[in-house]
């Protein structure tokens, strides 16, 4: 019995060291955002003012790789999420992802900032918030990346741009549309939009 107790302490110690080493090896939320932004900035610098289709495709991947579209969809649909079947949920996430990916390369100006300031991330268990302030000329835009850990990886589930929550904004739009017609009609509109592109 005593020998078992004596063994537990070193085992726990070793486990703590392993966990802390693992935690140190995965990049922090702020590092992830910084690396992503720097990569985008470098691509844009090389591309110049006009960005060709191939570069846009590359940018779409980099910009959206960190986004957890499943969680964003869940938040955006709000109360209507639970009412959806698994199949509907999957279809919605796919359409929503495509639309966001397409629109993400329309507003690249935010990445052409003169300087981006990264504030220390606020980590609370499996949730984190990274605040960045992008400066361009005499203007600045604050973006808060709301993140959570999915399978040990930090993913963005909402972005608050100068106080405007992306998830909430989509939710307002979807609620309005569903109230006006139905979920099905709204989904058709989204699908139609995907096909237009």
Partner 1 sequence: MYRYLIGLFIFTLTVLIPPLFSQTLEKLQLSLSQCETLALEKNPLIKEAEYEVEKSLIQHREARGAGFLPKMELRNIWGLLPRARAQYTSTGVLTSPDTATGISDLRIFTEMEFSILQPLYTFGKIHHLQEAAESGIEVSEAGVTQREWEVRLEIRKLYWGIVLGKEVLTILHDAQSKIREAETKLNEKLDEGSEDVTQNDLFKLQIFKYEIDKETRKIEQDLLLGKKTLLTALGKNENLDFEPKSEYLEPIPFLPDSIQTYFSLAARYHPQLLQIQAGLNATRALVGVARSDLYPQFFIAGGLKYNYAPGRDDPRNPWVYNPTNFFRPGAVLGLSLNLNFSQTRNKIRLAENDYQKLSTQKILLHHKLNLEIQKLYQAILTAQQDIRESNKALKASENWLRSVSMSFDLGLAEIKELIDAYKANSKMQVEHLQNIYRYNVLVAELSKKIGYDLYPHHSE
Residues that bind partner 1 (CB under 8 A): 99, 102-103, 106-107, 137-138, 161-164, 166, 169-170, 172-174, 177, 186, 189-190, 192-193, 196
Q: How far is the CB of 138 from partner 1 (least distance, A)?
A: 4
Token couple for 114: 């003169």
CA distance 124 to 21: 19
Q: How far is the CB of 23 from partner 1 (least distance, A)?
A: 35
Residue 41 vs 177, nearer CB to partner 1: 177
Q: How far is the CB of 52 from partner 1 (least distance, A)?
A: 19
Of 74, 119, 114, the closest CA to residue 97 belongs to 74
Residue 30 half-sphere exposure toward CB, CA atoms < 13 A: 12
Residue 101 vs 155, nearer CB to partner 1: 101
Residues paired with 67 in a beta bridge = 156
Residue 110 vs 123, nearer CB to partner 1: 110
Q: How far is the CB of 70 from partner 1 (least distance, A)?
A: 17
Q: How far is the CB of 189 from partner 1 (least distance, A)?
A: 5
Q: List alpha helices for the chain, DSSP H.
A: 2-25, 29-47, 53-64, 69-77, 79-82, 86-104, 166-180, 183-196
Residue 103 vs 153, nearer CB to partner 1: 103
Residue 92 vs 154, nearer CB to partner 1: 92
CB-based burial of residue 184 (10 Å sphere; 0-12 exposed, 13-18 middle, 19+ buried)? exposed
């Amino acid at each position: 019995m005593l020998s078992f107790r004596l063994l537990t302490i070193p085992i726990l110690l070793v486990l703590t060291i392993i966990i802390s080493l693992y935690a140190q090896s995965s990049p922090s939320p702020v590092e992830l955002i910084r690396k992503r932004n720097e990569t985008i900035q470098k691509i844009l610098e090389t591309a110049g003012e006009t960005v060709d289709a191939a570069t846009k495709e590359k940018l779409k991947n980099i910009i959206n790789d960190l986004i957890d579209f499943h969680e964003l969809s869940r938040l955006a649909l709000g109360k209507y999420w639970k009412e959806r079947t698994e199949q509907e949920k999957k279809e919605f996430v796919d359409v929503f992802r495509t639309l966001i990916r397409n629109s993400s390369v329309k507003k690249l100006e935010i990445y052409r900032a003169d300087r981006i300031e990264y504030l220390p991330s606020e980590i609370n268990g499996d949730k984190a918030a990274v605040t960045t302030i992008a400066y361009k000329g005499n203007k600045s835009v604050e973006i808060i990346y709301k993140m959570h850990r999915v399978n040990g990886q930090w993913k963005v589930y909402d972005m608050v741009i100068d106080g405007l929550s992306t998830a909430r904004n989509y939710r307002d739009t979807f609620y309005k549309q569903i109230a006006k017609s139905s979920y099905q009609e709204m989904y058709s509109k989204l699908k139609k939009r995907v096909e237009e592109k």
